Chains A and B, each alone.
Chain A
C-alpha cells in the first residue's frame, strides 16, 4: 500500500469495527461458499485479529497477491466460470479478507466497507428470509460504525452504535418509499447462467426405494395453504404431484401426458377454496389438493389429472385454487393409458407376481381383487419405518417377503405391482399428504417430510380410485402425520418428538412470522405493485410513472427530513420564542424591550409601568434569566413547560389598560 506505517492506537477502534463488520458479513455467506473458500476467509479474519493484537505481524504483499491468484484459479476450477453470482460472491469474499489484512490507510477502510456492502447485498441472492434481512441490517450498522469511527475514533462504542442506528432510523422513510415505489421486475433479477436454480430439495419426477424416506428428513417447507373456511380432514389432504406409471423393476417413471386447459373430470361434492403459496422447487408441478376445478393463470391440466405450470417455479408464488376431494376421475380413460398402467418388467419380482396370480385366481371383479390384495398385504405384517433396509434387484419381493420394513414408496410400489400382476391397472402417485395447521396464524404448512407416495387403481365405471397402502401398516400416517406413525423409539430428530412442545410452539410462531414476511415483503412483486397502484387510482401504472412517483416521494422525504433536522436544530431556541411572546405582549402594551436590554432590567422597567402585574413580570423575567443564563446546556423540558404556563398566566388588569392603547391579545 502507498501509506505504510503501523496502525496507530488512535485508529484501533475503526479497525475493530472493520473486523467485526467483515466477520458478520462473511459468516452468513459461509454455507454458500465452497468449503475451502469459507475456511480461507475465516483464516484471513483470524490473521487480521492477530495483527490487531500484535502490531508487528505483517503479511508480505507478494503473499497477498499469490493468495489472490490462487483463489481466482480455485474459483475457476470450482465453478467452471467467473460469470454468475456464485463465483462473483466467492471472489468478493476473498477480496474482502485480503483487503482486511492489508488495511493501512483510510482509503483501504473505504474499499473494505464498500466490499462489505456488496457482500451484504449478495446475501439476498441466496437467502431472502427475515434472518438475512436482520443480518444485512446488522452488517450495515457495523459498516456505518466503521465509517463513523474513521471520523471520530475517540467516541465510545456505544455512542457510535447509537449514531449509526440513528442514521439508519432517519433513512427509514426513504427506505419505505423505495420499497413501495421502486419498479419491480418480474422474475428473479439474478437469473445468471448455469448456477441459477441449481439444487433444491423436493420431490423428483422418478421414484426409487428410499427416495421419499430421504426427503422425509427435511423439515423444509414445500408450500403453505390458507383455506377460506375449515380445511378438509387430514385423510383427504392429498396434494397431487407426479404420477408414475412406467416401472423398470427399480425406478418408477412418469409417462408422457398431454396438457389441456380444462380438467378431464367434472368436479363433484363440496369444494375447498384456498390460497397456496409454493416455495420455489424448480419444477413445473403445482401440488394442488385433489382435484381442482380450474387451472390458475400460468398452469394447465395434464392428462393424469394434475396441474402443471407453464415454466418451472423459480421463485415463491401464490395460487388461488378450489378443490373437490370427492371428485371421480378417469371413468373414460383410454385403453392405451390403461395398458401402460398394466405393464410390468419381465423377470422381475417373481414371488410377488406369483402371489398376485394366486390371489386373483378366482376373483370376478377388479374390486374384489383390490380387497383381496389389501387383505393379503395386511396379513404380511409389514412395518412402516423411516429407515428401511436397502433392497436388491427384486425390490418388491424383498420388501413383501424378506425385510417387511418399508416407507410409503415401498408400500405404494408393492401394491401397484401386485395389482398389475392381477391384471388391474394401477399407478403410483407422488406428492404430499397431510400438513400441519400452524395454530398461530391458522395456515396449513406442508413440509418436505410430508412427501408421500400412494396408488391409484382403475376400476370399471368408477375410474381411478385412490388407494393408500401405507394406511395398512400405519393408519396414523394418514390421520396425524409422520411423527405419530413412527414408533416412539424411532430415530427421529428432536423437533419431531411431540414432547418438545416449547420448541414446537416457537417453530409455529417463527413460521407464522416467516409466512407473513413472505406474503407481504417478498410477495410484493410486480403484480402486487401494479394492483396497488391501480387501487390508488393510477390507470396504467408503468415504470415511468413509478419512477416519477419515486423521485417525487424521495425528494419529499428528503425535504421533510431536512426540515425536521432544521427544526430540531432550532428546538433549543424554544425558550427564545417564549420570551419573545412575552416581550411582544408587553410591546403591545407600549413597553417594547430595548434591543440591548437584559431581562431583569426590562422586567424592572415593566414592573414599574404595570405595578399590578409586577410580581408576575418579575417572576417571568427571573425564570427566563435562570433558564437562559444559569445553564450551559439545553434548558430542561419541564422547566420550559412551566415557563410557558407562567407566560400564559400573565393577564393585564383592566385599569392598566385604560390609559394605554387596547391590547390585541
Chain B
C-alpha cells in the first residue's frame, strides 16, 4: 500500500471544483502515471481552475501559456540573448521550465509551435543553440482545446494527440454543484488560500508506488483482448498502438492507487480506457473522434473471464 494517501488531496480539490470528482481523479491518476493530460471542452467549465488547483495542492511550480496563432516556439522554450558584458549568448528559459504547464487552447497555435511543446513533453528537455537544458521534474502538461471552435484553429493531428496519456472532458456541472458554485466564494480567491497537501517529493513517491502496483497475468490478458478488439473493430480506422497499451496499464495502475489498492482490477482498466483510448482512435471513414458510446461498446464486446 502506498504510504501517501491521495484521498485528502482529492477532497481538497473537490472543495474547489464542485461536482467533478471523477475528472479530478482522472487528472490526478494521469499525473501519477507520469502522463500528460488533454482537456477538451468549451471555455468556462473550469479547465484553468483544475490545472491551477492541482499545481497548488501538489506544490508544483505552475506556468500558464496561452496559445495564440502568433505564438512562436521561442516564446515557449526560451531564447538566447547576446550578453554584452560576457560577449556571449545566454539562454533565457521560457515558460516551459516549470513543473506544471497549462497550455491553454493549444489548437490556436500553429503546428510548428504546437510541436515545439509536444516534443518537449516527450523528451523532458529543451535544446537551444546546440545546448540541452533539462526540464524540471516532475513535468506535467495540461493542455486544453476547444472542440467547438473550429475557425482559425489547428486541430492536433493524431500523432500528436498520442503524446497525451489521457483526454478528459469536464462538461457542465450538475444543477446542485452549479448552485453551490454560484452561491459560494470566488474560486480564484479560494485558490490563493489553498495550502499544498503534498510535496513534490510526495508526488514522486506516489509515482513509484503506482509503478509497484501488481498487474496480474490475467489483467495483461484482458488488456491484450481490449487492444485486439480495438484493432479488429470494423467501426475504427485503426486500432490502439502498443504505446497506448502501455499507457492503459500505467493509467490503470495509477487509478488503482487513487482507490487505495496495491493491485489493478479490470474495473480500473475499464475506468481509464475511454480516456486513454478515446483521443487515439478515429471512426472509420470519418475525421471524427470516437464517441463515448463506441468506446463503451468496445469494452462490452470483450469478454472478461
Which of A's residues lie within 8 Å of B, judged by CB? Answer: 576, 594-601, 625-626, 628-632
Do A629 and B265 touch across chains, with their CB atoms under 8 A apart?
yes
B residues 11-40 near A (Cβ < 8 Å) are none
Do A595 and B264 touch across chains, with their CB atoms under 8 A apart?
no
Do A598 and B265 touch across chains, with their CB atoms under 8 A apart?
yes
Looking at the assembled complex, report how far the CB atom of A601 sits from the nearest CB atom of chain B, in whole angstroms: 5
12 A-B pairs besides A596-B300, A596-B303, A631-B216 with CB distance below 8 A are: A596-B270, A596-B299, A596-B304, A599-B266, A625-B263, A629-B214, A629-B216, A629-B219, A630-B262, A631-B214, A632-B214, A632-B216
Looking at the assembled complex, report how far the CB atom of A572 sits from the nearest CB atom of chain B, in whole angstroms: 10
B169 at the interface (CB under 8 A from A): no
Whole-angstrom CA separation of A626 from B214 in the bound complex: 10
B residues 193-230 near A (Cβ < 8 Å) are 214-219
B287 at the interface (CB under 8 A from A): no
Whole-angstrom CA separation of A630 from B219 in the bound complex: 10
Of all chain A residues, the one with the shortest Cβ separation from B303 is A595
- A596-B218 CB under 8 A given contacts A629-B263, A629-B264: no
Sorting the interface of chain B by its residue count into under 10, 10 to 19, 20 to 34 or 35 or more gives 20 to 34
Whole-angstrom CA separation of A601 from B266 in the bound complex: 10
Looking at the assembled complex, report how far the CB atom of B300 sits from the nearest CB atom of chain A, in whole angstroms: 5
Q: Which B residues are CB-close (under 8 A) to A599?
A: 265-267
- A630-B214 CB under 8 A given contacts A598-B267, A600-B267: yes
- Return the CB mask of B263-279 against A: 1 if under 8 Å, else 0: 11111001000000000
Do A601 and B267 touch across chains, with their CB atoms under 8 A apart?
yes
Q: Which B residues are CB-close (under 8 A) to A601?
A: 267, 270
Q: Which B residues are CB-close (under 8 A) to A600?
A: 265, 267
B302 at the interface (CB under 8 A from A): yes
Of all chain B residues, the one with the shortest Cβ separation from A625 is B265
Looking at the assembled complex, report how far the CB atom of B29 sits from the nearest CB atom of chain A, in whole angstroms: 17
B233 at the interface (CB under 8 A from A): no
Residue in contact with B300 in the complex, picked from A594, A626, A629, A631, CB distance below 8 Å: A594
Q: Which A residues are CB-close (under 8 A) to B303?
A: 595-596
Q: Which B residues are CB-close (under 8 A) to A597?
A: 304
Whole-angstrom CA separation of A600 from B304 in the bound complex: 13
Looking at the assembled complex, report how far the CB atom of A164 sits from the nearest CB atom of chain B, in whole angstroms: 28
Do B219 and A596 touch across chains, with their CB atoms under 8 A apart?
no
B301 at the interface (CB under 8 A from A): yes
Do B262 and A628 touch across chains, with their CB atoms under 8 A apart?
no
Whole-angstrom CA separation of A628 from B215 in the bound complex: 10
B305 at the interface (CB under 8 A from A): yes
Of all chain A residues, the one with the shortest Cβ separation from B216 is A629
17 A-B contacts (beta carbon < 8 Å)? A595-B303, A595-B304, A596-B304, A598-B265, A601-B270, A625-B265, A626-B263, A629-B216, A629-B219, A629-B263, A630-B262, A631-B214, A631-B216, A631-B263, A632-B214, A632-B215, A632-B217
Whole-angstrom CA separation of A631 from B219 in the bound complex: 11
Whole-angstrom CA separation of A225 from B267 in the bound complex: 77
Q: Which B residues are CB-close (under 8 A) to A576?
A: 305
Whole-angstrom CA separation of A625 from B214 in the bound complex: 12
Of all chain B residues, the one with the shortest Cβ separation from A595 is B303
Whole-angstrom CA separation of A630 from B218 in the bound complex: 10
Q: Which B residues are CB-close (under 8 A) to A631?
A: 214, 216, 263
Do A630 and B299 touch across chains, with their CB atoms under 8 A apart?
no
Looking at the assembled complex, report how far the CB atom of A596 sits from the nearest CB atom of chain B, in whole angstroms: 5
Of all chain B residues, the one with the shortest Cβ separation from A599 is B265
Whole-angstrom CA separation of A543 from B303 in the bound complex: 56
Q: Which of B215, B303, B305 has most A Cβ within 10 Å?
A: B305
Residue in contact with A596 in the complex, picked from B262, B263, B265, B302, CB distance below 8 Å: B302
Q: Which of A576, A599, A600, A629 has most B Cβ within 10 Å?
A: A629
Looking at the assembled complex, report how far the CB atom of B80 sits from the nearest CB atom of chain A, in whole angstroms: 50
Looking at the assembled complex, report how far the CB atom of A360 sits from the nearest CB atom of chain B, in whole angstroms: 103
Q: Which A residues are CB-close (under 8 A) to B299?
A: 596
Q: Which A residues are CB-close (under 8 A) to B215?
A: 632
Whole-angstrom CA separation of A594 from B219 in the bound complex: 17
Of all chain A residues, the one with the shortest Cβ separation from B220 is A632
Do B305 and A630 touch across chains, with their CB atoms under 8 A apart?
no
Of all chain B residues, the one with the shortest Cβ separation from A593 is B304
Whole-angstrom CA separation of A625 from B265 in the bound complex: 7
Looking at the assembled complex, report how far the CB atom of A175 sits from the nearest CB atom of chain B, in whole angstroms: 36
Whole-angstrom CA separation of A625 from B219 in the bound complex: 11
Looking at the assembled complex, report how far the CB atom of B260 sits from the nearest CB atom of chain A, in whole angstroms: 12
Looking at the assembled complex, report how far the CB atom of B206 sits from the nearest CB atom of chain A, in whole angstroms: 19
- Return the CB mask of B83-110 against A: 1 if under 8 Å, else 0: 0000000000000000000000000000
Whole-angstrom CA separation of A48 from B302 in the bound complex: 59
